[in-house]
Structure 1
């Protein structure tokens, strides 16, 4: 499978395959953050419109146990009391196309959170946000793309279409020019705004972890 086919399963609604086989694709509204001015009409190619990562982060120490990327206290504060479930090739074949991840579910509601490091996309192509943006500008997969930032790292809300007002939010964050991770929040039907708020909180926690924070 080519690199251009790897990323869609990651950051679109199908990313929720990493969340214990969830098939619901409803999503949430965006966090209250102004998108970065990342695009330029003078860019030579779509990849040139993607902001560079000035301080790359290395997730390699967490790939065997990706649930450690987001402290359980952060998830508990969002209503996910149970520890996350590692998603890897041993228990989820989708990760062969994406990369290792972790999922959290809330038994009291349909809410779910999934994270994943998009290691596979970098093997055959540009990887990172550039890969995702190529899929958007080419029309090959993403029908929705909105640049933003998470703790000064370039990021984007991305999906096959914009489902944030339906309780689903998919957020990709660049941690190197050729590597990104995603956070997918779903099932926030009663309070759609909380989907992106939750995704943004978890993404910030992942960055903090990778920087060596608590």
Structure 2
């Protein structure tokens, strides 16, 4: 199948409305409740924690996570399969899986959300944690298991309210390793998802 140059060989996109989740396997967030930050750290953001100026109500997308990306957007990503929705331990999920290793997954989770404050409180749990330029005013942080030049997967947390985030992740095919920063590629997917949110759906 065709894989677009921007996110060629995408292996996983994970959108999660819980801050403070990491991954052990592609597309599977791991609850950090076993090692939670102190309540003061998670609930009282410091000056560095960005605020969400225009909070989003994503209940519609939580009900239909497969509407997070339009057919046109998926085509731009080189994904032409039908999304499969299911209930995950963290909430509703949609996954588009193509031939070989390429897939796109979107996770919405509303359990225990503490927003960007918890993301920043948990920053030391990630080998790579870097704030990114906001998308349409929504704050972003990229996190990964290593520096982006050494890996094919990057997670980007998007602040949608001060109490919740959505996580979007991609894993590129191995032939893209070292050729394109996966965090930059993930940010482009974030732009697509935010566009869909703001438009009200697919």
TM-score scaled to structure 1, two decimals? 0.67
Match of 1:167 in 2: 152
Check conservation: 1:154, 1:173, Cα contact below 8 A: yes
Check conservation: 1:70, 1:209, Cα contact below 8 A: yes
Structure with greater proportional helix content: 1
Displaced runs of 4+ in structure 1, greater than 6 A?
A: none
| Equivalent-residue separation in structure 1 for 2:120 and 2:24 (angstroms) | 16
Matching of residues 99-138 of structure 1 within 5 Å: 99-107=91-99, 109-122=100-113, 127-136=114-123
Stretches of structure 2 lacking an aligned partner (at least 5 in a row):
1-17, 30-43
| Equivalent-residue separation in structure 2 for 1:52 and 1:105 (angstroms) | 34
Match of 1:53 in 2: 52
| Equivalent-residue separation in structure 1 for 2:72 and 2:148 (angstroms) | 27
TM-score scaled to structure 2, two decimals? 0.71
Check conservation: 2:149, 2:181, Cα contact below 8 A: no
Q: Deviation string for 1:92-111 (max 9, x for gaps)?
A: xxx32x3322222231x423
**Mapped pair 1:209 → 2:200:** no
Q: How many residues align?
A: 167
Gap change, CA 1:143 and 1:55, over 3 Å in 2: same
**Mapped pair 1:16 → 2:27:** yes
Q: CA deviation at 1:16?
A: 1.0
Match of 2:130 in 1: 146
Check conservation: 2:151, 2:182, Cα contact below 8 A: no
Q: Deviation string for 1:81-140 (max 9, x for gaps)?
A: 10222241xxxxxx32x3322222231x42332222231132xxxx2222111111xx3x
| Equivalent-residue separation in structure 1 for 2:61 and 2:76 (angstroms) | 22
Match of 2:168 in 1: 183
Partner-residue secondary structure (3-state), 1:202: helix
